[in-house]
Amino acid sequence: MMKIRLLAMLLCAVLLLSLAACGGSQEPTPSGGGESPTGSAPPATPSGGGEDTPDAPSTPDAPVSAKDTINVAITADDGTLAIEYTTTGTYWAMTAVMEPLWDVNEAGDNIMVLAENVEQVSDTQYTVHLRQGVTFSNGNPFTASDIVFSYGVFQLAGATGQPRTQTIDPEKTKAIDEHTLDLHLLAPSVAHWQILSQFFIYDEESYDKDRSNREPIGTGPYVVTEYVPNSSIILERREDYWGALPAAKYINFKLLAEPSQRVNALETNLVDISLVALDDVDYAKTLPQYNINERYMSNFDSVMFNFGPKSKFYHNVDARRAVLHAINPQTLLDVVYQGKGKTMHAAVPEHCFDYEDRFSDMDDTYKIGYNVERARELAQSSGLAGQTVKLMTNGAAEALKTAEIVQSMLSEIDVTVEINSYDPATAWQMSYDLEAEWDFSAGGGISPNRVVGDQLLNGVRYSPMLTIPGAFDGNMEYLERAPLAMSTVDKAELSEVLYDLLGQYEAAAISFGTVHMTFANAYTTAIDMNSVNYSVGTSFVRLQDLKFVS
């Protein structure tokens, strides 16, 4: 399972697209070379203005921006650059090195990348015509066989990589020729486009698992020139990139895990792009050299339980419910997130495109919600009272603050909470380890495809704990029906499937959505905000689109 974060437990992930069968094509203007590589080290100073990258093909004599570096603060490092194992800031960096067949933006538009166009043959079959003349950064040509090979790499990544290729039928999907892929789905999918926008392609000929951890080979516009784990990543633009050259020649990623570090970096102009902790948003808005972009993303906060045999919550739904009734989401919203967001009324966020009003407050844990007396009764009747439970976090500042508040709340029902914090990769790995010693976790959930069914399906079928017969009431029957949450194309039928499965999911208290917070990002005023486009699949800004203000 290796090193990472959700994308598995909750790849509940992206737009419910009403796209045309062939998925429209937005083609970048191909480049014709550009400036010759200099081999010089990237500048350490923050970027300023500079010239927009021209829309016309670049030439060897094209001018270079006077300041052509973008410095980016990231909040976590997965410990590897292998994109099938990453989900945090490392993943963001690698989306400029690796490329998928297509991307999907937040408006629901398909952006053709390695695919030139796609023909839909049926609900489960597509003919993908690939771009010709595309090369990997080592000079090898990109072909359809690289796609088939990369599918195997993602499958070997287990619960981390599998959700990103979950729609592909590996037996039927074949390379027709070097530039044509016969793509088959296992079943019709309401999130097929979004899911495969998270499937990045490796070079079959040169692939080396160890090297991909540090120097991955991709078709993207940048290459890794330096990686210092838990510190920094430096990317340099490929002047031989097949598409339009991005504006920035260098992108420097610096790990600044603490909110105070990021604020200091903004105050001193050391970064051009940074996530801003919600505590610091109002202050950041006073800094004249930055634009602040606030938005709801696919991330939300949730409480998740260990259903394994070493957990205090193993086969004990009343104990799980005791915890949920003892937690006040409004307090978490007010204290941890400064009121910037909203409390959740279901295990999935209202941000999902197929969310319905009737999904709100279906279960007592939401309908009744925070109720100390009820929590105390359930703690007593379930045997949880007087116990010590282990609360796991991924080390993020918000997760730690949430854990401390939950610790205090559970003390009100005579439950002692021991907080154990790990790095994101370890926490993610432990959440799928039957032998790991933790009882419940506080931290991030994600709906990367922004459809309700993603969490209802992937949050269960990729969990070694939840797939054990009897893990929760009726779980085997649930697992049989869960694929319908993603494969039912008829909207009326899908609505009923989601309603039934969500009811069963919440009745078993598999996870509990607490807060859907807003996220704020600071962008230097040197960056043209009209070029800031977010990918639904990754939730990150598309770095290759960024341009400088003229």
Q: Which residue has the higher pLDDT, 35 or 165?
A: 165
- How many whole angstroms separate alpha carbon 184 and alpha carbon 165? 12
3-state secondary structure of 71: strand
- Cα of first residue to Cα of last residue in the chain, in angstroms, is 45
In a domain, 238, yes or no: yes
Structural domain count of the chain: 2
Token pair recorded at residue 242: 């097949």
Same domain? For 356 and 483 the reply is yes
Same domain? For 212 and 250 the reply is yes
In a domain, 329, yes or no: yes
Same domain? For 232 and 328 the reply is no
The reported pLDDT for the residue numbered 516 is 96
Same domain? For 245 and 303 the reply is no
In a domain, 364, yes or no: yes
Same domain? For 493 and 418 the reply is yes
Q: What pTM did the predictor assign?
A: 0.72
Q: Across-strand partners of 441?
A: 304, 392
Same domain? For 213 and 324 the reply is no
Q: Where residue 7 falls among pLDDT bands split at 50, 70, 90?
A: very low
Please check the confidence at residue 244 and state whether its pLDDT lies above 90.
yes
- CATH number of residue 96's parent domain: 3.40.190.10
Range scoring the smallest mean pLDDT among 61-65, 146-150, 275-279, 479-483: 61-65
DSSP 187-215: S--TTHHHHHTT-B---TTT--HHHHTTS
152, 236 contact by CB (below 8 A) = no
Same domain? For 229 and 320 the reply is no
Mean pLDDT, the chain, whole residue set:
87
In a domain, 50, yes or no: no
Q: Where residue 222 falls among pLDDT bands split at 50, 70, 90?
A: very high
Q: Which residue has the higher pLDDT, 354 or 10?
A: 354
* 514-526: average pLDDT: 95
The reported pLDDT for the residue numbered 6 is 36
Q: Domain containing 454: what range? A: 299-518
The reported pLDDT for the residue numbered 64 is 35
Same domain? For 307 and 196 the reply is no
Token pair recorded at residue 54: 């021209």
Query: Tokens 């933006």 appear where?
Result: 105
Same domain? For 178 and 307 the reply is no
* 31-53: average pLDDT: 33
Q: How many CB atoms lie within 10 A of CB 244?
A: 22
pLDDT in tens, 299-322: 899 999 999 999 999 999 999 999
In a domain, 350, yes or no: yes
Same domain? For 218 and 196 the reply is yes
Q: How many CB atoms lie within 10 A of CB 511?
A: 24
The reported pLDDT for the residue numbered 523 is 97
Q: Across-strand partners of 128?
A: 118, 181
Please check the confidence at residue 179 and state whether its pLDDT lies above 90.
yes
In a domain, 475, yes or no: yes
2 Cβ contact list (under 8 Å, min separation 6): 80, 85, 157, 158, 160, 425, 429
Please check the confidence at residue 8 and state whether its pLDDT lies above 50.
no
CA angle 399, 404, 407 (to 5 degrees): 120
In a domain, 24, yes or no: no
- How many whole angstroms separate alpha carbon 220 and alpha carbon 114? 10
Same domain? For 164 and 245 the reply is yes
107 Cβ contact list (under 8 Å, min separation 6): none
Q: Where residue 548 falls among pLDDT bands split at 50, 70, 90?
A: very high
Beta strands (DSSP E) in 137-178 are 174-177
- CATH number of residue 388's parent domain: 3.10.105.10
297, 339 contact by CB (below 8 A) = no
Beta strands (DSSP E) in 388-450 are 388-393, 416-421, 440-446
CA angle 147, 148, 153 (to 5 degrees): 90
Please check the confidence at residue 43 and state whether its pLDDT lies above 50.
no
* % of residues, the chain, pLDDT over 90: 76
Range scoring the smallest mean pLDDT among 112-121, 176-185, 396-405: 396-405
* 51-78: average pLDDT: 59
Closest by alpha carbon to 539, among 263, 201, 194? Answer: 194
Give the strands of the sheet with 180-184, arranged side by side: 115-122, 125-130, 180-184, 174-177
Q: Across-strand partners of 287?
A: none
The reported pLDDT for the residue numbered 319 is 98
Phi-psi region of 164 (alpha: psi -120 to 50; beta: other; left: phi over 0): alpha
In a domain, 30, yes or no: no
* 490-496: average pLDDT: 96
Same domain? For 237 and 310 the reply is no
Q: Are strands 388-393 and 440-446 parallel, antiparallel or unpaired?
A: parallel
